[in-house]
Amino acid sequence: MILNFSFKLDARPEGLSCQFYLDRRYRALSSASVDVLWQKLMNLADVSWHPLLSSTNAPRGLIAKPGLIYQVVTRLIPIPVRIFVERVRPGELLSVRVLTIPGVEKRVTYQVESTVCGTYVSYSVTLRGWLSPLLWWLIKPYTARVASELAQAAEQAVAL
């Protein structure tokens, strides 16, 4: 787990401006292959493994592509949240921006990497904006579990 949190206070002619920035990364090791992990991640219709998300409006079989916008419903507050797919490198990386509320910018990156020990899945969260400390306080316990829950879901898919 890597944590980087910063606070910047600027004095401008318009007044004081403060900027919060949080960057956190989690990794989990899985016995599942890169392909199985990637397929689990790319199935946008199934978010049952994700501790923060309860459902999505993505149709079964929809593949993430840059520019795609879809909605998810969170487990914390049952309101729809839009997800914007920024980057996709098949079998390697998925980067999305979560469009929640004004005052918070949330970016999430998933990376899958094969090693001699197994397959690593990384989950990185970047929060910016003046409401980011409050959002982080709410989602922190769930965010810490995302990589390990994805790894477990992929291993269960292999076992079936």
Domain extents in the chain:
2-159
Specify whether the CB–CB gap between 134 and 143 falls below 8 A: no
Q: 86, 66 in Cβ contact below 8 A? A: yes
The 10s digit of each residue's pLDDT in 59-92 is 988 889 999 999 999 998 888 899 999 999 999 9
2-159: CATH, from 3.50.50.60, 3.30.530.20, 3.30.300.30, 1.10.287.810 = 3.30.530.20
Residue 47 CA to residue 108 CA, distance in Å, equals 15
pLDDT digits (tens, 9 = 90+) for 5-61: 555 555 566 665 567 888 899 999 999 999 999 999 999 999 999 999 999 999 988
